[in-house]
Chains A and B, each alone.
Chain A
């Protein structure tokens, strides 16, 4: 910083516009919130709310959902602030606002902290402090435990860190009911178990990127074959877990069919990923698993939303 100030002081002919002034557009600040992750957070939180059949004012439900979304966005923003150095060397992330030079790291930090604190406080005031505490824990877990600690130190980073991405249904249920019940815990478990096959499928394709950035993703540390085995192991656990909402009674007939077919699809692709280990076909099937895993999770939650939010619930038995 002082070097920059000195060079500017020595050369007044240079424009001062870049001396710490924000260059970012509104869209750059929005990009800091990781909109696609935010969509997943809002979507899973909405389902966590709807399956709870809350008896709260719609304004409270709306504000709670908004604050969970903003809290998720703040986590993404603080993650980008912390990871700007590694984002700059990965092709997938080098165009993000901080490595692209559009937003100063300090701006991102201030933006993220303000949104994080604001979302927790407003959620506490609008709903209850259990939900606010859970949201604060989610942000802390994603930023400090995952981004600052696990991501650069262990190949289990996304397994443990995945808990942060899985918490929104629990936060949402706490916001509208004041307590945490088994249904949101099961939704948490599904997202938690879905995360490793989802991210490791991507990591198999992008292992060069992660290696260049020095991130110990599973394919770089344990090797692609071990990663393939672990993807299969997690998928074997995930497929039956996807049916748990049916066993607990909040997944209806449509959900049972979707979870069964989707789970079998995930298993079939995971077996293919395990079997095909060389060349282009191996990369292609890993890419397919990555894409299908997004569709699978989306369909599970969308079906629950349709069943509980739009009256499509039909019990599996009777």
Chain B
């Protein structure tokens, strides 16, 4: 058992790929939120928030 912790070191190309994956994931999540917002408006109408609580 070693007392030193070995961390994974990504090479520059792997770092680039990880960054591209992260950006794609962020854009997908943003698109998903917009999609849900649009569906909500279309299905429930623009007055979705103006209802008795």
With contacts A17-B14, A57-B42, A63-B35 known, is A25 near B9, CB below 8 A?
no
In the complex the two chains form, what is the Cα distance from A64 to B43 in whole Å?
13
Interface presence of A4 (CB below 8 A):
no
With contacts A24-B17, A25-B20, A63-B35 known, is A16 near B6, CB below 8 A?
yes
Residues of A within 8 A of B36 (CB): 122
**Contacts of B3-46 to chain A: CB distance below 8 A:** 6-11, 14, 17-18, 20-21, 24, 35-36, 38-39, 42-43
Min CB gap A175→B, angstroms: 13
In the complex the two chains form, what is the Cα distance from A21 to B13 in whole Å?
14
Residues of A within 8 A of B17 (CB): 22-25
Interface presence of B2 (CB below 8 A):
yes
The residue of chain B having its C-beta at the shortest distance from the C-beta of A118 within the complex is B32
Contact A12 B39 (CB under 8 A): no
Contact A23 B42 (CB under 8 A): no
Residues of B within 8 A of A122 (CB): 35-36, 39
Residues of A within 8 A of B10 (CB): 17, 21
Residues of B within 8 A of A125 (CB): 39, 43
Contact A16 B8 (CB under 8 A): yes
Interface presence of A1 (CB below 8 A):
no
Contact A12 B42 (CB under 8 A): no
In the complex the two chains form, what is the Cα distance from A273 to B8 in whole Å?
56
Interface presence of A126 (CB below 8 A):
yes
Residues of B within 8 A of A66 (CB): 35
- Binary interface encoding of chain A residues 1-42 relative to chain B, with 1 for a CB under 8 A from any of its CBs, else 0: 000000000001001110101111110010000000000000
Contact B8 A19 (CB under 8 A): yes
Interface presence of A317 (CB below 8 A):
no
Contact B42 A60 (CB under 8 A): yes
The residue of chain A having its C-beta at the shortest distance from the C-beta of B39 within the complex is A126
Min CB gap B37→A, angstroms: 10
In the complex the two chains form, what is the Cα distance from A25 to B10 in whole Å?
14
Q: Contact check: which of A19, A22, A23, A59 meets B38 at CB < 8 Å? A: A59
Residues of B within 8 A of A17 (CB): 8-11, 14
Contact A12 B24 (CB under 8 A): no
- Binary interface encoding of chain A residues 107-150 relative to chain B, with 1 for a CB under 8 A from any of its CBs, else 0: 00000000000000010011000000000000000000000000
Min CB gap B33→A, angstroms: 12
Q: Contact check: which of A16, A22, A63 meets B21 at CB < 8 Å? A: A22
The residue of chain A having its C-beta at the shortest distance from the C-beta of B23 within the complex is A26
Q: Contact check: which of B8, B20, B39 meets A63 at CB < 8 Å? A: B39
Residues of A within 8 A of B39 (CB): 59-60, 63, 122, 125-126
In the complex the two chains form, what is the Cα distance from A12 to B5 in whole Å?
10
| Further pairs besides A25-B21, A66-B35: 20, Cβ < 8 Å | A15-B8, A15-B9, A16-B6, A16-B9, A17-B8, A17-B14, A21-B14, A22-B18, A22-B21, A24-B17, A24-B21, A25-B17, A59-B39, A60-B42, A63-B38, A63-B39, A122-B36, A122-B39, A125-B39, A126-B39
A interface with B by C-beta (< 8 Å): 12, 15-17, 19, 21-26, 29, 57, 59-60, 63, 66, 122, 125-126
Ordered by A's residue number, 14 sampled pairs between the chains whose C-beta atoms are within 8 Å are A12-B6, A15-B8, A16-B8, A16-B9, A17-B10, A22-B18, A25-B20, A26-B24, A63-B39, A122-B35, A122-B36, A122-B39, A125-B43, A126-B39
